C-alpha cells in the first residue's frame, strides 16, 4: 500500500536476494527482508518515488553503464523524493538533499548531469541501486484491470456519448472498494486524494478588483438525474485544493507574486446536457504519430545490435541439429507512446455566445474536448480534461472533468455534460495551473497543453493589454518548461489579430466547425511539441553552461 500510494499506481513489494541492495524493475520493489523496518520503509519510499517520477524510464537507456547509473541515482533519487514529498512517510523526508534535488527538474536533466563531468555526491545507502537491464517496459494499461489507464478498445470509443450505461448507479459495492491504491475505485481515489499534493492558498496584496462571489448556476434542458452520488465522487468532493500563482503586470514589467488563487472544485452532475455526436475516429490518424519514442525490441530479424540471449539459443539449436531462429538482433523502433495531454476548456460566460456554425461556442468546444479526449485515450496516451472560469483573482475555479488516472466512462460524460458557461476568463492563471498539473501528474517526457477558448481574456482588473500580455506570458512559461502549447478557438468570432495578441507565438488556430479539426490537428500538435522541445533543449544548455561556470568559479 505504501509503495502504491507513493508511486501513484500498483507497485508490488518482494524480498530481494540476501545482501542485495533495494532495486525495482518498474512494477515490483525488491528489498532485503532481514533488515530493520525503518530501512525497509526508506528503501520502499525511494524506489517507489523513482517509479512514480518516471526515473526508471530514463535509466533504461543506460544499459550496463553501472557507474553512470550510480551517478544518475545520486541526483535523480533526491529529485524523485522531492517530487513525491507530499506522499512520503516522515522517515523518508530526512533523505532529501534539497540542494541536489534543485539541480534537476526532470529525469532527462538528471541523466545529462550523470553523463557529464559535474561533481556529484555518492547516493546514500538508503537509495539502493538501479539495474537498467532489469527495468521492465511497463504498459500503463496493464497495471490494473480497473485502474489507472485503459487505452481504448472498441467498447470505449462511444463512451463519451453514452450518458448512462447502467454501471455507475447499479454496480455492486465490491467494485467501489476493492481496487488497490492508485486504482479506479473509491478507496484508491480517496487515498490518492489524501496523499496527493496540496499547497495552501496564499493571500497576496489587496487588488483593485471588487470582491466577487460564486453564484449557483441555472438549470438547463436535457436534465439527467442519478439516484445517488457515487462514493468516489463524494470522496473527491470532500476537499477543494487551492494554489496561488503569480501574474504578469505588463505595465510595471514585473510579476505580482502570489496574486491569483486557483481553486479546484468538484464537478456538478445534477443537470446534464447530452453531448453532440462526433466520430472521434477521424482524429486518430493525424494524432497517431504524436509522442512516439524509440523502443528497443529484442529478437528481431534485423537491427543495430546483437541480442546475446537469442544468439546463444540459435547457436545451441544449430549444434543440436535443429533449425536456428534468425531473429537474433535488437532493433530500435519508434512505437512507444510517450505523450501526456491536458485539455483546458474555457467555460466562461463568453462561451455561451452563438456560433456561426449553429449552436453556441460552448457546445462546439465541449464536443471538441470530448472528441480529442476519446481519440487520445484510444491511442493509449495519458489524457486529462479540466474546465475553468473565474470570479476575480482570488477565485479562479478549475473543475477536473477527467484526471489523468480516471477511466473514460459515463461518469466523465456526465461531468462534461453538466458544465454550464458563466463568469469570466482569467486565462493566465488557468494556463499556469494546467502546466503545473501536467508537470506533476503527466508521467511522460512529452507533454502537451491544449487550450480550448475563444481567446477573450477578461476579469475584474484583467482586461485589454494587461490580460493579453499575462496569457502570452503564461504560455511562454509553459513552453520553457518543455510543455507544448496548442490553443484552439472553435466556432468563435474572435478577431484573428486579437487571438495573436492573446496566444502570441504559441501554436493556435480558429476553426469554424468541429469537422474541420481533423485537417489541422496533426500539424498544429507537431508544431507545439517541436517548439517545446527546442525551448527545453535551450534551457538545458543554459543550465549546463551555468553549472560549468560555477564549477570553474566564474559564475556570477
Tell whether 264 is covered by a domain: yes
Residue 367 · residue 279 · CB < 8 Å: no
Cα(222)–Cα(169) distance, integer angstroms: 19
305 and 415: one domain? no
H/E stretch holding 483 reads: strand 483-490
pLDDT tens-digit series, residues 334-350: 556 789 999 999 999 99
Total domains, the chain: 3
User: Rounded mean pLDDT of 264-278?
Assistant: 78
133 and 280: one domain? no
Q: At 358, is the secondary structure helix, strand, or coil?
A: coil
Angle in degrees, CA 292, 296, 300, rounded to 5 = 115
DSSP one-letter string for 158-175? TGGG-S--S-TTTS-HHH
Residue 308 is part of which domain span?
292-336
- pLDDT score recorded for residue 240: 56
Of the three residues 113, 138, 163, the one that is the final residue of a domain is 138
Q: Which three cell numbers stand for residue 93?
A: 523526508
End-to-end CA distance of the chain: 47
Tell whether 497 is covered by a domain: yes
- The model's confidence at residue 164, banded by pLDDT at 50, 70 and 90, is very low
272 and 329: one domain? no
347 and 495: one domain? yes
325 and 380: one domain? no
Residue 465 · residue 498 · CB < 8 Å: no
400 and 278: one domain? yes
Closest CA to 468 of 479, 453, 480: 453
Q: Which three cell numbers stand for residue 293?
A: 519514442
Tell whether 193 is covered by a domain: no
347 and 487: one domain? yes
- pLDDT score recorded for residue 144: 42
Least confident of 107-116, 122-131, 228-237: 228-237
pLDDT tens-digit series, residues 284-302: 888 887 754 555 777 878 8
| Burial profile 520-556: b = 16 or more Cβ within 10 angstroms, e = fewer | ebbebbbebbebbeebbeebbeebeeebeeeeeeeee
Q: Is the pTM of this model over 0.75?
A: no
DSSP one-letter string for 497-555? HHHHHHHTTSEEEEES-GGGHHHHHHHHHHHHHHHHHHHHHHHHHHHHHHHHHHHHT--
370 and 440: one domain? yes
Tell whether 152 is covered by a domain: no
96 and 59: one domain? yes
Tell whether 214 is covered by a domain: no
Cβ neighbours, 10 Å, residue 172: 8
373 and 509: one domain? yes
pLDDT tens-digit series, residues 455-514: 999 999 999 999 999 999 999 999 988 999 999 999 998 899 999 999 998 999 999 999
Q: What is the CATH number of the domain that holds 376?
A: 3.40.50.410
User: Rounded mean pLDDT of 91-112?
Assistant: 85
DSSP one-letter string for 190-256? HHHHHHS-----------SSPP----PPPP-SS----SS--HHHHHHTT---EEEEEEEETTTTEEE
264 and 401: one domain? yes
Q: How many residues does the chain have?
A: 556
Residue 106 · residue 99 · CB < 8 Å: no
pLDDT tens-digit series, residues 365-400: 999 999 999 999 998 899 999 999 999 999 999 999
Tell whether 403 is covered by a domain: yes
Tell whether 490 is covered by a domain: yes
Tell whether 109 is covered by a domain: yes
| Angle subtended by helix axes 464-480 and 517-552, to nearest 10 | 70
Calculate what percentage of the chain has a pLDDT beyond 90.
38
99 and 241: one domain? no
Cα(499)–Cα(468) distance, integer angstroms: 9
Amino acid at each position: 500500500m505504501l509503495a502504491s500510494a507513493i508511486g501513484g499506481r500498483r507497485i508490488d513489494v518482494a524480498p530481494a536476494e540476501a545482501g542485495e541492495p533495494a532495486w525495482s524493475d518498474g512494477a515490483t520493489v525488491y528489498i532485503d527482508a532481514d533488515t530493520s523496518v525503518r530501512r525497509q520503509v526508506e528503501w520502499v519510499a525511494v524506489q517507489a518515488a523513482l517509479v512514480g517520477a518516471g526515473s526508471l524510464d530514463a535509466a533504461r537507456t543506460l544499459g550496463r553503464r553501472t557507474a553512470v547509473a550510480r551517478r544518475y541515482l545520486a541526483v535523480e533519487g533526491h529529485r524523485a523524493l522531492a517530487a513525491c514529498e507530499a506522499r512520503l512517510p516522515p522517515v523518508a523526508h530526512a533523505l532529501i538533499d534539497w540542494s541536489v534535488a534543485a539541480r534537476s527538474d526532470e529525469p532527462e536533466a538528471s541523466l545529462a548531469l550523470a553523463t557529464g563531468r559535474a561533481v556529484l555526491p555518492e547516493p546514500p545507502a538508503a537509495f539502493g541501486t538501479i539495474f537498467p537491464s532489469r527495468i521492465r517496459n511497463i504498459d500503463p494499461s496493464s497495471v490494473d484491470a480497473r485502474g489507472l489507464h485503459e487505452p481504448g478498445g472498441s467498447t470505449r470509443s462511444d463512451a463519451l456519448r453514452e450518458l448512462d450505461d447502467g454501471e455507475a448507479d447499479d454496480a455492486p459495492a465490491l467494485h467501489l472498494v476493492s481496487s488497490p491504491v492508485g486504482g479506479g475505485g473509491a478507496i484508491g481515489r480517496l487515498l490518492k486524494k489524501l496523499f496527493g499534493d496540496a499547497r495552501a492558498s496564499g493571500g497576496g496584496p489587496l487588488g483593485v478588483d471588487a470582491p466577487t462571489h460564486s453564484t449557483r448556476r441555472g438549470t438547463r434542458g436535457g436534465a439527467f438525474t442519478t439516484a445517488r452520488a457515487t462514493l468516489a465522487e463524494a470522496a473527491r468532493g470532500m476537499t477543494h485544493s487551492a494554489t496561488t500563482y503569480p501574474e504578469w503586470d505588463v505595465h510595471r514589467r514585473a510579476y505580482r507574486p502570489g496574486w491569483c488563487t486557483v481553486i479546484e472544485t468538484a464537478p456538478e452532475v445534477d443537470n446534464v446536457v447530452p453531448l453532440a455526436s462526433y466520430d472521434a475516429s477521424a482524429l486518430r490518424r493525424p494524432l497517431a504519430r504524436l509522442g512516439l519514442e524509440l523502443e528497443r525490441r529484442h529478437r528481431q530479424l534485423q537491427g543495430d545490435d546483437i541480442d546475446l540471449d537469442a544468439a546463444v539459443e540459435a547457436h545451441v539449436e544449430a549444434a543440436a541439429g535443429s533449425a536456428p531462429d534468425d531473429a537474433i538482433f535488437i532493433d530500435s523502433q519508434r512505437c512507444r507512446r510517450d505523450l501526456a495531454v491536458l485539455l483546458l476548456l474555457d467555460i466562461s460566460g463568453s462561451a455561451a455566445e452563438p456560433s456561426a456554425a449553429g449552436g453556441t461556442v460552448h457546445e462546439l468546444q465541449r464536443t471538441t474536448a470530448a472528441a480529442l479526449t476519446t481519440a487520445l485515450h484510444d491511442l493509449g496516451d495519458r489524457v486529462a480534461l479540466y474546465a475553468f472560469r473565474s470570479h476575480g483573482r482570488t477565485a479562479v475555479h478549475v473543475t477536473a472533468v477527467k484526471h489523468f488516472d480516471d477511466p473514460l466512462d459515463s461518469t466523465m460524460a456526465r461531468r462534461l455534460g453538466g458544465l454550464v458557461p458563466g463568469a469570466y476568463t482569467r486565462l493566465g492563471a488557468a494556463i499556469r495551473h494546467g502546466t503545473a498539473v501536467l508537470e506533476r501528474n503527466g508521467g511522460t517526457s512529452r507533454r502537451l497543453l491544449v487550450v480550448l477558448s475563444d481567446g477573450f481574456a477578461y476579469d475584474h482588473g484583467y482586461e485589454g493589454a494587461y490580460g493579453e500580455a499575462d496569457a502570452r506570458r503564461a504560455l511562454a512559461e509553459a513552453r520553457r518548461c518543455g510543455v507544448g502549447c496548442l490553443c484552439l478557438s472553435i466556432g468563435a468570432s474572435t478577431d484573428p489579430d486579437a487571438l495573436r495578441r492573446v496566444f502570441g507565438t504559441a501554436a493556435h488556430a480558429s476553426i469554424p466547425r468541429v469537422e474541420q479539426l481533423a485537417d489541422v490537428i496533426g500539424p498544429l500538435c507537431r508544431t507545439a511539441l517541436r517548439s517545446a522541445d527546442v525551448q527545453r533543449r535551450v534551457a538545458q544548455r543554459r543550465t549546463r553552461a551555468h553549472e560549468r561556470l560555477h564549477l570553474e568559479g566564474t559564475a556570477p
